Amino acid sequence: MISQCLIAMPQVSPAARRALSEAGSDIRTGLVSLMIPAALLYLALYALVKKKTGVFVMLDWMAIFAFAANGTLVVLECSVARSLQLFAVAIGTMKALDFYARRKSPPKYTDPNPPSDSIIALLLFTELRYESFTPNYLRTAPALAQLESDTTAEYVCYQKRDLKGGKQVFTTFGKRVASLQTPGRKAPHRFSEAFDLVIHAAFFLATQFLFPLSNPTVQAIQILLAIYVIWESLQLLLRYKTSPPLFGPVYTASSLASFWSETWHTAFASPCRSLAYDPLRRHLPAKYGVPQSFAKGVGIIASFSLMGLFHAYSLAPVLPLDGILRIIAFFLLNGIGTVIETAIWGRNAHWGKALLAWTFEIVIASWTVEGLSLPKGLQNISWDSICNVGGVKRG
């Protein structure tokens, strides 16, 4: 009886071992090849911290071209390793462009007793959400309980330098600072990230056994939960001691806007704002007399479109063309849906708003999944084809 309840894990065949070995080898090659653009980006950020703007601009563009060259010239044969490489290239490029756009007013370190400039540059390099700096775009997650108020909070994290055994030890302290109250929304609440991770992982495993794996809606929910579990696990392992939560509980989302700005991770909020949202929000009214509300809507759609292109570029090695186009459409439709939702309800909470948001999200996610050619469940993963995901021909 017990054996029937266990996950049927496939045996690792010699072909699978060879494929996994090739994937590991390609991942190592990719990491080594990314050292040059990563080093250039770090040096650029160090120059920015030193307020040497001219040097920063030169090194930053060198980093951008180095990332582009890496993605073009260093073509890994294993499709999964190639996809991870392109994710790194895209993230590095967006970070470099983000800081170039913000070079005149870069994020400020929040502690009145900052560490060395090299450490500040390292924090800028490693933090996707810039939680040790201000401004940042961290958002509290929706609450589980009653409707009270909507609090948009910015977090600052302080780095305290201690000397222990001759070594510099950095301890991070979190502090929530600004809040904007909007009536009729859920108040933020504190929750255990670790416990919440266990809940979502349990839901993910439940979908493996209790629902038909061939159903695209079930697959869409599995992908949502898998992304949550993977990212949240990395967050708990690699974050600073008191970094704010990366995700909120998925089941608390009450609208498209709250899902994407509060519940889901905001790891790429900064480049979305500096490269898409803010330029359109500012320049369309100033240059063309476009109403501010319309310009904001265009900026939101542009931000989602940027994320669509980001995911399409990174996932191209493991997806067919139809899947890539559906990924782009998924983000574009979410942007349009968010703008329409905000135009109708604003920030006000309503059960109809939540129902339509979840229905909309599930429908377009299910449609997107139908074009991705994914294995149906964990037990159907073909490990011996791990380097040929998506039918990509290897050299």
Q: Name the 3-class secondary structure at 157.
A: strand
- Cα gap 310→109, rounded to integer Å: 28
Contact 133, 172 (CB under 8 A): no
Q: How many CB atoms lie within 10 A of CB 280?
A: 20
Residue 210: exposure state from Cβ atoms within 10 A (0-12, 13-18, ≥19): exposed
Q: Which of 77, 106, 135 is the last residue of a domain?
A: 106
Contact 190, 244 (CB under 8 A): no
Q: Is residue 12 part of a domain?
A: no
11 within a domain of the structure (yes/no): no
Domain that holds residue 28: 18-106
User: In this structure, is residue 385 part of a structural domain?
Assistant: yes
* Alpha carbons 387 and 380: distance in angstroms, whole number: 15
Same-domain check for residues 79 and 142: no
- Termini Cα distance of the chain: 46
What length does the chain have?
Answer: 395
Inside any domain, residue 361: yes
Residue 208 sits in the same domain as residue 244: yes
pLDDT in tens, 211-259: 888 889 999 999 999 999 999 998 888 887 767 888 888 888 889 999 9
Residue 90 counted as domain residue: yes
- Cα-based angle 300, 302, 306 (whole degrees, multiple of 5): 120
Region for residue 264 given its phi and psi (left: phi exceeds 0; alpha: psi -120 to 50; beta: otherwise)? beta
Task: Give yes or no: residues 77 and 114 share one domain.
Answer: no
What's CA 93's distance to the chain center, in Å?
14
Considering the domain architecture, whether residues 226 and 90 belong to the same structural domain is answered as no
Cis peptide before 112 (omega within 30 of 0): no
pLDDT tens by residue, the chain, 395 residues: 444 444 444 566 787 888 889 999 999 999 999 999 999 999 999 999 999 999 999 999 999 999 999 999 999 999 999 999 999 999 999 999 999 999 999 999 988 888 999 999 999 999 988 988 988 877 655 544 433 333 333 444 433 433 333 333 333 334 333 333 333 444 444 567 888 899 989 999 998 888 888 889 999 999 999 999 999 998 888 887 767 888 888 888 889 999 998 889 889 999 999 999 999 999 999 999 999 999 999 999 999 999 999 999 999 999 999 999 999 999 999 999 999 999 999 888 888 899 999 999 999 999 999 988 777 777 777 777 888 876 544 44
Residue 362 lies in a domain: yes
The answer to whether residue 3 is domain-embedded is: no
151 & 27 share domain: no
Rounded Cα gap, residues 120 and 84, in angstroms: 27
Among 79, 106, 133, the domain boundary falls at 106
Among 63, 83, 106, the domain-final residue is: 106
- Residue 252 sits in the same domain as residue 377: yes
Q: What distance in Å separates the CA atoms of residue 209 and residue 8, rounded to the nearest whole number?
A: 11
d(CA 126, CA 91): 11
Looking at the fold, whether 119 and 65 belong to one and the same domain comes out as no
Q: Which two tokens stand for residue 6?
A: 């266990």
Residue 376 parent element (H or E): none
Composition of the chain by helix, strand, coil, percent to 5: 65, 10, 25
pLDDT reported for residue 140: 59
For residue 286, which phi and psi values (nearest 5 degrees)? -70, -40
Verify that 31 and 167 share a domain, yes or no. Answer: no
- 241 and 380 co-located in one domain: yes
Rounded to whole angstroms, how far apart are CA atoms 176 and 238?
A: 21
SS3 155: strand
Shared-domain flag, residues 68 and 146: no
Contact partners, residue 122, CB within 8 Å, separation at least 6: 42
Count how many domains the chain has.
2
Angstrom CA distances, 246 to 218, 273, 280, stand at 24, 18, 27
| Cα atoms in the 13 Å half-sphere on the side-chain side of 297 | 16
Lookup: tokens for 229: 């579990």
Q: Are residues 247 and 320 in the same domain?
A: yes
Residue 9 forms part of a structural domain:
no
Whether 80 and 227 share a structural domain: no
pTM: 0.83
The answer to whether 228 and 250 have CB atoms below 8 angstroms apart is yes
DSSP character string of 68-115: HHHHHH---SSHHHHHHHHHHHHHHHHHHHHHHHTTTSPPEE--SS--
